[in-house]
Chains A and B, each alone.
Chain A
Amino acid sequence: MGNVIIIGAGLSGLSAAMTLAEKGQSSLLVSAQPSERAQSVLAEGGFNAAADTMGENDSTALHFEDTMKGGVYLADPNACAALAENAPKLLEKLISLGAAFNMADGKPVLRNFGGQKKKRTAYAKASTGKMIMSALIDEVRRYESKGLVTRYPHHKFVSLIVSDGECCGVFVQDIYTKKITAMFGSVILCCGGMNGFFPEMTTGTTANSGYVQAEIFSQGVAFANLEMLQYHPTTIGIPGKRCLVTEAARGEGGRLFIKRNGGNYYFMEEKYPELKNLMPRDVVSREMYLTRRQTDCEGEVMLDMTGLSEQVWSERLPDLRQELKEQLGLDPAKEPVPVREGIHYFMGGIFVDEFHRTCMRGLYAAGECACQYHGANRLGGNSMLGAVYGGSKAAQQALADGVKSAEGAADMSKAAFEEARPVFIKKISDILLGALGIVRNEQTLRAALDELGRLSGSNSDETARLELARAMLMSAAERRESRGAHFREDYPEKDERLRRTLVAQLKNGEVALEFRDLPERRVGDEAQT
């Protein structure tokens, strides 16, 4: 009897479980905390789909083009074409599950988002992730009642069970009892981004510790484009983390400015007259960073939402207003909000093909943990789409490949759970942050690698984290060009020869890097646009 094990119960994990159940395949849904605690509930602004409900002649072809352009053509074109093509159908599905989108005349209302010329982002005020998650959680519960999904709550991933180079299951640990058990079957990783490598410095959750990524990297799973970290332009500092101010704030009319010579300098509007404040995130973050350093500019970059109408505040962004009032003690409808760039998304991650297969047979990855769809810079609204579509695609591929047996034997002596000490994680994080900022250069990256080389781990997780951190820095050093979120002041231009995927893998205990060609776009594919 075949079995599929899904690690992580956020948006991509739920999507994978739902897809498998729809096809009659049972799955085990493993997560340290319930789905309600997943990072997906934090997603604010929306879900991209060229549903064209606003009379703007939008199309999936334009969605595809914007996604590729926004990612500076570093994404797999076949995967992105299929993503854009399937988006309207997926949005319909979410609506049919009762996700509480903003609707008018029975159709989803769409709004502007960065890097896109058409209104394409479906939303539920500024709580889109929470609304989608609530609907999907209920749907998966239906399959739980039918025995098609079995949840393993309060269980965390320990390691992959690998036999002859193939993944045939996982070791997991019950957080309550500390008992470690082996599960066998095909494995889909839906474990989110590597926030835990940058504690307190990302907009994500502490639950996404990066443990899974470090562990599987040490087990030989290939990663890609690790240098591609997304800094979101508008975040605020709250105790213990960065807190996102949704891009929808600018989509609905919010403006960025900084004080210059006593006046307000709307730098994005002056420099980018077409998309203005809605340029892709990599561009906005870089401009903010550089503008703040101009000698004639002073203070923080401000996000001015005082021009938004009462209707926008009440129907589209009431939750954002409430949040800013509570977190900062100011009313964004009345005064501008100081904002800074903050780490928000990992475009790089587990190296997967168009079908979400990793380099290891039997192992798939989807959602933020996978390097797919977003190239060198993700467009707002494409992450939830990528998670829902990717989870489903991975599930379909696991079925197509023939799911692996639920029976097996494993050497339990290899199943030990060790966790890095927070103080060690902090040391790695300080080194990474020093070199992987918005502007990078060879010298700083090399110095960071030297510094990292002076650390040594005292347990398996610490050692594994060191290697993955090394791979991040080496990747950033190796990509000697500027593309999307990766800006090298010593190589400020794009280099078309490097429009390739940078794959990192641990081989014989050493990090090995390799540029691999991107797949050619297939002609005549039904997913082509």
Chain B
Amino acid sequence: MKLRLDILRRKNADSEPYLQSIMFETDNENATVAFALTNICSGENVTDVEGKPVSPIVWEHSCLQKKCGACAMVIGSRPRLACDARLAEFAAEGFVRIEPLKKFPVVADLMVDRSAVFDALKTLGVWANGEVGAPDRTDETAYEASRCLQCGCCLEVCPNFYAGGDFFGMAAAVPASRLIDQLDPEQRKELSAGYRKKVYNGCGKSLACRDICPAHIDIEKLMSASNSAAVWSRLHALFGRKNRGVKK
């Protein structure tokens, strides 16, 4: 398999981006974009299609098996994990365009600064002050919520998210859904308020995040659980007296 990789590169945050095209050939039919980048970086005297030497490409990677979220980038105009993007998908076109995620500041080449993702979790206060306690049976919501890779793919496609903005997106909402109905009343109130302000109010329900998640997290289910804990339970509380009155 032979493919042209068009990589949007940039020496550092202040320099101009440029497109570098590199031919990559492999007999591994399962080869991924991550595999190609690794091999290009570890090769000797690699040149681009114009014969110019290719300096090592800066990109983040770690597990190479879709479990850590490090290698998220825009591949063929979709945000995805480089270790999950098989070159064979692009073989018919003969090329694939590889760019850094656009919602985050570029550090160099394909590496972006995703601090905003982690800052949001801190601002939102995603932790438990007290013990969460042992559930009677396997807590499927906690399991699903704990699977988030913090890769940023969902934020990349979200029409409402931008780094540093008021809307935190699903990369904050999903981990929050692990805890939101598990907290003591005071902290639950705080996290719920944050959730309404930073997630619920800003979400346009485009659900673009649902289809792009490389971990296939059931975002709708988690959102509905969190909405129930942070939004509807508040409405119940507000109108609770009346409701209870009706019941009586």
- Chain A residues in contact with chain B, CB under 8 A? 33-34, 36-39, 41-42, 95-108, 124-125, 127, 130-131, 134-135, 138-139, 141-142, 144-145, 153-154, 175-176, 199-200, 205-207, 238-241, 243, 315, 323, 326-327, 422-423, 426
Contacts and interface: CB of A to CB of B under 8 A. Distances in A.
Contacts of B115: 153
A124 B143 contact: yes
Which among B35, B65, B114, B136 has the greatest number of chain A C-beta atoms within 10 A?
A: B65
B150 A130 contact: no
Given A36-B69, A41-B63, A205-B63, A138 B127 contact: yes
Interface of B: 28, 30-32, 34-35, 38, 41-44, 60-70, 83, 107, 113-115, 118, 121-122, 125-129, 131-139, 142-143, 145-150, 175, 178-179, 182
Given A103-B134, A240-B64, A130 B147 contact: yes
B136 A239 contact: no
Contacts of A41: 63, 67-68
Given A100-B143, A103-B135, 8 more contacts: A38-B68, A98-B128, A98-B179, A138-B128, A138-B178, A144-B122, A205-B64, A423-B44
A36 B138 contact: no
B62 A33 contact: yes
A422 to B, nearest CB: 3
B67 A134 contact: no
A239 B61 CA distance: 13
Contact of A97 (B42, B125, B128): B128
Nearest to A139: B127
16 contacts: A34-B150, A36-B69, A37-B63, A95-B134, A98-B133, A98-B142, A101-B138, A108-B134, A131-B146, A134-B145, A142-B129, A145-B125, A153-B115, A238-B65, A240-B34, A326-B66
Contact of A141 (B68, B114, B126, B135): B126
A37 B70 contact: yes
Contacts of B60: 33, 37
Contacts of B147: 127, 130, 134
B31 A33 contact: no
B146 A134 contact: yes
Given A102-B138, A103-B135, A327 B146 contact: no
A199 B182 CA distance: 42
Contacts of A144: 122
Contact of B69 (A37, A100, A138): A37
Contact of B127 (A38, A107, A142, A176): A142
A36 B128 contact: no
A315 B143 CA distance: 12
Nearest to A145: B122
Contacts of B70: 33, 37, 207
A52 B215 CA distance: 33
A37 B62 contact: yes
Contact of A239 (B32, B42, B131): B32
Given A176-B107, A423-B44, A100 B142 contact: yes
B54 to A, nearest CB: 13
Given A36-B69, A98-B128, A138-B178, A239 B63 contact: no
Nearest to A129: B67
A259 to B, nearest CB: 24
Which among A100, A135, A141 has the greatest number of chain B C-beta atoms within 10 A?
A: A100
Contacts of A153: 115, 118
A317 to B, nearest CB: 13
A465 B134 CA distance: 46
A103 B63 contact: no
Nearest to A96: B131
Given A131-B146, A176-B113, A141 B121 contact: yes
A158 B142 CA distance: 38
Nearest to A423: B44
A31 to B, nearest CB: 11
A199 B35 CA distance: 12
Contacts of B38: 200, 206, 240
Contacts of A206: 38, 61-64
A105 B136 contact: yes
Contacts of B41: 422
Contacts of B34: 239-240
A106 B139 CA distance: 11
Given A41-B63, A124-B143, A130-B67, A138 B138 contact: no
B182 to A, nearest CB: 6
Contacts of A199: 42
Contacts of A139: 127-128
Which among B83, B136, B138, B179 has the greatest number of chain A C-beta atoms within 10 A?
A: B138
Contacts of B132: 96-98
Nearest to B150: A36
A114 to B, nearest CB: 22
B117 to A, nearest CB: 8
B67 A42 contact: yes
Contact of B134 (A42, A107, A127): A107
